[in-house]
A and B are shown apart, each in its own frame.
Chain A
Amino acid sequence: MHIVIKLFGVPLSCPITNSMNIWFSCFLFIIVTPAHIVRLYDRFEALDKEKTGHLRPQDFGAINRLAMNPIGDRIIGAFFSPGQETVDFHSFVRILAHFRPADKKHPKDPSMPEPVNSRTSKLKFAFQLYDQDKDGKISRAELLQVLRSMLEMQVTEEQLESIADRTIQEADLDNDDAISFEEFRKSLEKVNIDHKMSIRFLR
């Protein structure tokens, strides 16, 4: 099996051997240009104040502007897989890779697993920001929580609820009073996710 990586715009074919450990191959998938890796690694080290090679939630919490982000906590949470207290560089990069713009020039190889920067993966990432209890559904309560954090204090609970209800009602196709991933995707069908959930520097 070969993977094609683009190095400074030049496609390189690179065989994957068993000797290469899994995470390295993932790594190649994710970040194409070494400069990005280096940059992210610098950032990772800067965040990793205690030099353990792992980031803890409080390391993220130390980022000032993140504290002002209404859904900052959720995004920090997204970096930690369930049950894990820390995140290593590989996972760190892998999460960030969700925000890579999709590569239009190289159509997706059906034999390969879905890349983390595909539309579905991006949506999944966004979805899990809402779905905190990981039951595959955005319940009304979960949506309310997000709305409450995103809306200013002046909004009354009542207003929040009417927005939440309308949102659910609009997206809810099977009437379970919750938004499943499928419904979530449907409701955002017309939105250019690739555009809205990508950051250029990760290209």
Chain B
Amino acid sequence: PLRRVLLILPFGTPLGGVYKERTKDAARLSEFNGKMLLVSWEWSYVQTPYIIAIWILVASVAKILFHFSQRFTTVVPESCMLILLGLVLGGIVLLTSKKQLYQLEPGLFFLFLLPTIVGDAGYFMPARLFFDNLGAILLYAVVGTLWNAFCTGFCLYGVKLLGIIDQKVQAGLMEFLLFGALISAVDPVAVLAVFEEVHVNETLFIIVFGESLLNDAVTVVLYKVYMSFVEVGPENVQTADYFKGVASFLIVSIGGTMVGLIFAALLAFITRFTKKVRIIEPLLVFLMVYLAYLTAELFSLSAILSMTFCGIGCNKYVEANISQKSRTTVKYTMKTLASIAETIIFIFLGISAVDKSKWAWDTGLISCTLIFIFVFRALGVVMQTWVLNWFRLVPLDKIDQVVMSYGGLRGAVAFALVVLLDAERVPAKDYFVATTIIVVFFTVMFQGLTIKPLVNWLKVPRATNRKPTINEEIHERAFDHCLTAVEDIAGLNGYHHWRDKWEQFDKNYLSKLLLRKSVYRKSELWEVYQKINIRDAISVIDQGGNVLTSARLSLPSMASRASFPEVTNVTNYLRENGSGVCLDLQVIDNVPGAKVEEESETHHFLAGNLYKPRRRYQSHYSRHFMTVGDHERQDREIFQRNMKSRMETHSNGCFLSLLQRRGSDVKEQDLNDKPRRNVSWQDKDPVVVTVESEDEKGEHLEPEKEEDVGITFVARKVPDTPKERPKSVPAGLEVCQSPSVAPPSPTCSERNLPWKGGIGTLPVCVSMEATKIIPIDLQQAWNQSISSLESLASPPGPVEPLHPRVSALSRLGGQRPVSYSGSGVSGSGFGSRGAGSIVAQGIARFEFPPGGEEKEEEEGALSDQEQELQPLVSSSVRPPAPSPPGPGSRAEEEPLCVPEEPGHSAPSWQ
């Protein structure tokens, strides 16, 4: 009954009321039904899980409440609030029951609460950062903790001898050393709780946090050794026992690490075979990591070390083996558990403090302990850092040392250890418990509260929560190789040398054993690349999920595809919207080049933000159109018009003006009456295939360069795709160059010779001059872009590589080098969709003149262009004409490619 009341009390009357109601009901029912109860009160049956669930609920609600006020939580760390809440709850319990019923039970803490936190920490430990700083971490964890423990212990004993500590505290040297050992270890829970809110730079964080994890071995050993010494009595301790202590330390630490690594290997190995049972992958991860902890406890090894190394060790392989969903599940579950465990720990710390039995206050002991742990921590950090800086590449400066000293927080581990003391053997236990509580509260609350202002005041470099870009990934890998090479040249077996050796070993043996075959075959950098792409895609979908789910996303099979090809491709849609992401891993979004000098600043800003899709996406409609170059804007406006008409919203004003302008362009072109054969590739690199005399080429060279920004209304996205296609397949070239050779695949040939497949069935667009035939061959382009979206693994059909002749050819004409060298790779590489257009001389052109390479080139380009143009033509036809010159009529009446102004290299769709 007491428990029942206690349970209900913290939640106020509602629950209590319900409880009373229900007992009344039950009583009434029992009255009416004799011995038969319809509803019975089975408290004892559900008691334990119920109480646990309620406590977790309390912890969660407390967390929610604290985060109501953003301003408040930025000042006061959550851990402080939780301890205060615990104090209040403890007070209520104490008032109602006259006796504290709850406290942080060491068994509960060590077996359930701590592993969740350590498991999370170990599994998500940034391995590279951790091992880069392993030397420092180990030094602080081992030497630093030993130093703290001995100094605190001896000095407390000295103070005791001086009489500053009250005589009531019955403790000798061994007891004080024991106390020093358990109070000196920096606590992982407290460090995590406080540092996570402070966001100091990674190096600083990993050193303090790594220390707090790895010092567990020292703490465990010292604790055990002193306990045995206390048991046998200090006078009976023999010299051999000290050596045993050292041996015990080695066994506990190395043994714990080994257990962890064995379980890591086991876990990685098991996850190799879970392909058919993905659903248990997360469970396996939790199970094995937890088993690593329990096994280490079983052999009284360092359980924290074991779990930490299990997490670090298995992470790479497990993450590669398990599915994306499992990864997410593991991540969220671990974080949830760790977060709730942390909350419960702090609440219970608060509750535990409200206990009369623990109020064995001795001012001397408490104040001396506080002073000593702080002073020795600072001293130890300064001395060790001085030594470390001889060996460190990046020395730890004074500010780092201050933060490290100040960040030496003590927490629940110390409390649980002190509670575990045997009161009969350690008479001063109550004093130690009280002191520990004060120390923990002081460090967590006072230091936790002040560390943020301190860090701000000292201007400690902060961590940037930023994912590395693909550039950084690549270059940093190159740097690593570079450093390894330099170490080899300089004949040193330094850090990079060993790291490289380890990587070789990992690649040759470990990964083979622990990774799935399918995963092993993938390159790490490729994985990173894919991850970045997926991340971008996810964030875009998060932001604009409606875009993708609504009718705007149509599949190739849908009726609309012919009219709105660019739109219906998800990738194209995203890309056209400037979201800066790439769902299709094979499609690379080249920001269309426009040399707009005066806007280069904004342009750079844009480009710099390319991979922050969140921001970009939100603002792309306005920002993009405002800032990008003229050419790009036009491109996008067209697209926007298509989109808008599709969405049946108002039409874009910009577009109107654009069309008007284009109209005038057309007139100019007509006046010019010098149809040039310009193929523009992706707006930025005009590919000019001029069939006229060299003179004329020369003539147009100048304007060509100036007017880089031709108006190109192309299905830009579609042509993009081929850019990534392999150019290593010579067969493709053969096909393209000499059509008589049997094409390796129908797709290829069709792509290259679109009229082959399309002429019969597909509509043909004839320009006004009747010099061109544009078969509409959407099918291929479509299938390709869609299939590339779906299957990354299966490379599309071979495409002709950039043939040397192309470049040679391009060098002939004055304008070509510019165009072909830049875009040649792309323009000629994928026959399927070059951009831009060519004005062919006549139909004859299409008949594969057997001889001229130049002509073949043109044809290749023509086909590119043709495919490219189709979507455009058709898409531009459909939308309700928003502009004076109806796009529909234009498409039919006007030449496909008309030079717009002298110098405009860009083809247009009119």
Contacts and interface: CB of A to CB of B under 8 A. Distances in A.
A129 B478 contact: yes
Interface in B434-481: 464, 466, 469-472, 474-479, 481
Nearest to B796: A158
9 tightest A-B CB contacts, nearest first: A175-B593, A165-B588, A187-B471, A43-B491, A75-B485, A200-B393, A157-B726, A162-B724, A154-B521
Nearest to B793: A156
A94 to B, nearest CB: 13
A120 interface: no
Interface string A51-70: 00000000010010110111
A108 interface: no
A71 B485 contact: yes
16 contacts: A43-B490, A63-B489, A150-B478, A154-B522, A154-B523, A157-B728, A158-B724, A161-B726, A161-B727, A167-B470, A187-B471, A187-B475, A195-B393, A196-B476, A199-B492, A200-B393
Contacts of B328: none
Contacts of A198: 393-394
A43 B500 CA distance: 21
Given A63-B489, A170-B610, A199-B483, 11 more contacts: A42-B491, A161-B725, A165-B724, A172-B607, A173-B607, A186-B608, A190-B466, A192-B394, A195-B393, A199-B492, A201-B490
Nearest to B469: A170
Nearest to A192: B394
Contacts of B495: 200
Interface in A158-203: 158-159, 161-163, 165-167, 169-177, 184, 186-188, 190-192, 194-203
B207 to A, nearest CB: 14
Interface of B: 391-395, 397, 464, 466, 469-472, 474-479, 481-492, 494-497, 500, 504, 521-523, 525-526, 529, 533, 582, 585-595, 600, 603-604, 607-608, 610-611, 684-685, 723-728, 792, 795, 822-823, 825
A46 B475 CA distance: 31
A158 to B, nearest CB: 5
A196 to B, nearest CB: 5
Given A43-B490, A96-B486, A187-B471, A158 B726 contact: yes
B727 A157 contact: yes
Nearest to A191: B472
Nearest to B685: A177
B478 A69 contact: no
B595 A174 contact: yes
Nearest to B533: A166
Contacts of A187: 469, 471-472, 475
A168 to B, nearest CB: 8
Contacts of B533: 166
Given A156-B726, A175-B590, A176-B822, A163 B525 contact: yes
Interface centre among A75, A154, A184 (most CB of B within 10 A): A75
A176 B490 contact: no
Contacts of B523: 151-152, 154-155, 159
Given A71-B481, A150-B477, A176-B593, A101 B394 contact: yes
A195 B394 CA distance: 7
Contacts of B485: 66, 69, 71-72, 75
Contacts of B521: 154
A201 B521 CA distance: 36
A86 B666 CA distance: 62
Nearest to B496: A199
A163 B529 contact: yes
A162 B483 contact: no
Contacts of A194: 394
A32 interface: no
Contact of B795 (A43, A141, A151, A158): A158
A146 interface: yes
A201 to B, nearest CB: 6
Given A163-B526, A169-B589, A126 B725 contact: no
B515 to A, nearest CB: 12
B751 to A, nearest CB: 16
Nearest to A40: B490
Interface centre among B475, B600, B724 (most CB of A within 10 A): B475
A170 B470 contact: yes
A155 to B, nearest CB: 5
Nearest to A125: B482
A146 B475 CA distance: 10
B909 to A, nearest CB: 23
A195 B727 CA distance: 38
Contact of B479 (A72, A126, A172, A176): A126
A28 interface: no
B479 A196 contact: yes
Interface of A: 40, 42-43, 46-47, 60, 63, 65-66, 68-72, 75, 79, 96, 99, 101, 104, 126, 129-130, 140-141, 146-147, 150-152, 154-159, 161-163, 165-167, 169-177, 184, 186-188, 190-192, 194-203
B481 A150 contact: yes
A170 B526 CA distance: 16
Nearest to A127: B475
Contacts of B684: 175
B472 A201 contact: no
A62 to B, nearest CB: 11
B812 to A, nearest CB: 22
B566 to A, nearest CB: 19
A151 to B, nearest CB: 5
A140 B825 contact: yes
B586 A199 contact: no
Contacts of A176: 593, 822
Nearest to B611: A170
Interface centre among B395, B482, B582, B585 (most CB of A within 10 A): B482
A172 to B, nearest CB: 7
A150 B727 CA distance: 19
B471 A175 contact: no
A169 B725 contact: no
A140 B588 CA distance: 13
Contacts of B600: 174
Contacts of A201: 490, 492, 494
Contacts of A186: 608
Nearest to B725: A158
Nearest to B479: A196
A141 to B, nearest CB: 8
Contact of A69 (B484, B490, B529): B484
A123 B333 CA distance: 42
Contact of A166 (B470, B472, B825): B470
Given A166-B470, A166-B582, A190-B472, A177 B590 contact: yes
Contacts of B472: 187-188, 190-191
Given A162-B529, A167-B470, A195-B393, A99 B522 contact: no
A63 B590 contact: no
Nearest to B461: A192
Contact of B476 (A167, A170, A191): A191
Nearest to B604: A173
Contacts of B595: 174-175
Contacts of A156: 726, 795
Nearest to A194: B394
Nearest to A195: B394
Contacts of B475: 126, 184, 187-188, 191
B471 A167 contact: yes
B810 to A, nearest CB: 15
Contacts of A43: 489-491
Nearest to A151: B523
B803 to A, nearest CB: 15
Contacts of A202: 490
Given A150-B481, A163-B525, A170-B469, A46 B724 contact: no
A155 B526 contact: yes
A169 B589 CA distance: 7
Contacts of A71: 478, 481-482, 485
